[in-house]
């Protein structure tokens, strides 16, 4: 059954294009592309029961936020605007769960222009993202930012190695970042790339039209270790493709959600979980039920602390790709 929790009226936002993110306080946070007090979009909070609060209306501090926010390890939410800011090329901003807002970087075209994908944080450290324009050649960048807004351009695309990295980066279980460019590469139809946190970029695949054209949406690493993605068009019949990419990375588990209080229910997704003999939260044993070969239902045990979830299976021990955060 579908329930409409809130209908936007313009003054509180127009066009909530970005996906929601559930923060550690249980509320959902999102952004609208337009509307708000000045028409340039908003950041909002909405409770599971549907009580919406407009936390910020953009003006000269950014415009048109159209990708999901990410909550950092410090509890603060981070996001980007594609336009506006001090130099007109977009911004990186932070906002607390209570609504305290600050711009931490305004792009100047040299450092990139039009940040388009959601940010991703490595551990409790820096955040990483992409811009679809700007940089040395004007074809977009991969950047690193501290939580305080010190930005480093890790790579500027030059067309031969890709152009317009529209999809968000994904952090692989090997500690490297993976992404796609919608255009460019050896054949002009887009690429898949790997980049280390230090900025060494490798083009893994240049699409050649027979295997797809325009991988706009970025990648997903499944619990079997393989990356999956889509291309907008081309392929055998010309209407786009779904592709898998193996980098030789092993299986892992992931939890839904990635945070919770003691005794709260957690679903663990994985591969070949049948016969699992142990589930621990950062070393604290938990009771569990194997639902299927790809799912386990468990609860956060008393005494658990923030850290990795581990599942012992007949095939070996699987660890979670993201630390589970135990809430007070």
297-324: per-residue pLDDT in tens? 999 999 999 999 999 999 999 999 989 9
The strand pairing partners of 234, in sequence order, are 239
Nearest in space to 133 (alpha carbons), one of 93, 88, 103: 88
Domains in the chain, CATH or no CATH each: 254-327 (2.60.40.10)
Sheet holding 91-95, edge to edge: 70-71, 77-81, 91-95, 101-106
Percent of the chain whose predicted confidence (pLDDT) is above 70: 100
Q: Tell me, what's the pLDDT at 69?
A: 98
Mean pLDDT (the chain, rounded): 97
pLDDT band at 287 (very low <50, low <70, confident <90, very high): very high
Q: What is the mean pLDDT of residues 254-259?
A: 92
201 φ, ψ (degrees, to nearest 5): -100, 135
Residue 150 has pLDDT above 90, yes or no: yes
pLDDT band at 328 (very low <50, low <70, confident <90, very high): confident
Rg (CA), the chain: 20
Structure tokens at 129: 């993202």
């Amino acid at each position: 059954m579908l329930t409409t929790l809130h209908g936007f009226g313009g003054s509180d936002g127009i066009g909530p294009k970005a996906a929601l993110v559930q923060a550690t306080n249980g509320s959902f946070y999102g952004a609208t592309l337009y509307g708000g007090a000045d028409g340039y979009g908003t950041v909002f909070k909405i409770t599971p029961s549907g009580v919406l609060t407009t936390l910020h209306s953009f003006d000269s501090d950014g415009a048109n936020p159209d990708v999901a926010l990410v909550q950092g390890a410090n509890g603060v939410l981070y996001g980007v605007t594609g336009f506006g800011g001090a130099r007109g090329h977009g911004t990186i901003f932070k906002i607390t769960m209570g609504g305290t807002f600050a711009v931490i970087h305004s792009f100047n075209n040299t450092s990139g222009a039009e940040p388009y994908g959601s940010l991703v944080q490595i551990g409790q450290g820096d955040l990483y993202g992409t811009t679809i324009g700007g940089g040395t050649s004007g074809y977009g960048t991969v950047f690193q930012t501290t939580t305080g807004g010190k930005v480093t351009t890790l790579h500027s695309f030059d067309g031969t190695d890709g152009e317009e990295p529209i999809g968000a980066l994904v952090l692989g279980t090997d500690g490297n970042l993976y992404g796609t460019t919608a255009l460019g590469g050896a054949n002009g139809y887009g690429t898949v790339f790997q980049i280390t946190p230090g900025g060494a970029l490798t083009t893994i695949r240049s699409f050649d039209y027979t295997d797809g054209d325009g991988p706009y949406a970025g990648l997903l690493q499944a619990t079997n270790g393989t990356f999956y993605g889509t291309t907008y068009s081309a392929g055998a019949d010309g209407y786009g493709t779904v592709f898998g990419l193996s980098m030789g990375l092993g299986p892992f588990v992931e939890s839904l959600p990635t945070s919770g209080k003691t005794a709260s229910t957690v679903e663990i997704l994985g591969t070949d979980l049948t016969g699992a003999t142990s589930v621990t939260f950062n070393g604290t044993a938990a009771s569990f039920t194997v639902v299927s070969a790809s799912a386990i239902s468990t609860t956060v045990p008393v005494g658990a602390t923030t850290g990795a979830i581990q599942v012992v299976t007949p095939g070996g021990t699987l660890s979670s790709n993201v630390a589970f955060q135990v809430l007070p």
